[in-house]
Amino acid sequence: MIIVHHLNNSRSQRVLWLLEELGADYEVKRYERDANTMLAPPELRAIHPLGKSPVIEDDGVIVAETGAIIEYLLSKYPSDALKPAEGTEGARRLTYWLHYAEGSAMTPLLLKLVFGALPTRSPGLVRPLVKAISAKAQSSFIDPQIKIHTAFWESELTKADWFAGDHFSAADIMMSFPIEAASSRAPFGPDKPRLKAWLAKIHARPAYQRALERGGPYAYA
């Protein structure tokens, strides 16, 4: 039985979704963020030294990092539907999106979250200065970077209905978090019709909905 060490409002929701798509048996062990710091509880460090989520446990094997977990699960539960055949363009694209989602895509989104929170977490005397610096960083660097990435996603979906090709795959599960996070901060407008349609399609998937039932609703801010 796979144990998913699941932190509320975290990227581990994608792991639950993948397991539901695979039809695998698993157990959810829940952890709650600190209400003030929003950090994971120290209990997670007993599972993995970094104390982060997602982490899965499988017969004593500990696997961390979403992309590594997805690769591990696809190896354990081979799925032609979720993993394009080796040597194909779809397989290459799957590998790309598994790395891109947590590498390039999440960096500006994380910066947006951090800089957006700085003013409210700063001492009162310096808050106006911190607010000005935060606003400048967001308007001059972070927001333009997010705009570049969202335009890239929209462009990629003009090539096919899904990120690895004409069929839904684990690439779409991996890309769900950055795309949903970006949409939650600035809802996609009429210039992003394919992204809006893609979100509607993943939200309608029964496995996605079952994962929400198991893990609970989540937010990005």
Could you give the 3-state DSSP secondary structure of residue 148?
A: helix
Alpha-carbon span 138 to 109, nearest angstrom: 10
Least confident of 13-22, 43-52, 147-156: 43-52
Please give the pLDDT value at position 39.
Answer: 77
Per-residue pLDDT averaged across 158-174, rounded?
Answer: 97
pTM score: 0.92
Whether the per-residue pLDDT at 6 is higher than 60: the answer is yes
Question: pLDDT value at position 109?
Answer: 94
pLDDT at 41: 84
- With the C-alpha atoms ordered 210, 47, 54, 67, is the resulting torsion angle positive or negative? negative
Is residue 221 pLDDT above 60, yes or no? no
pLDDT top residue among 175 and 122: 175
Q: Give the pLDDT mean for 3-23.
A: 91
- DSSP code per residue over 71-123: HHHHHHS--TTTSPPTTSHHHHHHHHHHHHIIIIIHHHHHHHHHHHHTGGGS-
pLDDT tens digits for 60-73? 999 999 999 999 99
Q: Looking at residue 197, what is its pLDDT?
A: 97
Residues above pLDDT 90, as percent of the chain: 74
Tens-place pLDDT, residues 116-158: 888 888 888 888 999 999 999 999 999 999 999 999 999 999 9
User: Contact at 8 Å (CB) between 176 and 14?
Assistant: yes
Using alpha carbons only, how large is the chain's radius of gyration in Å? 18
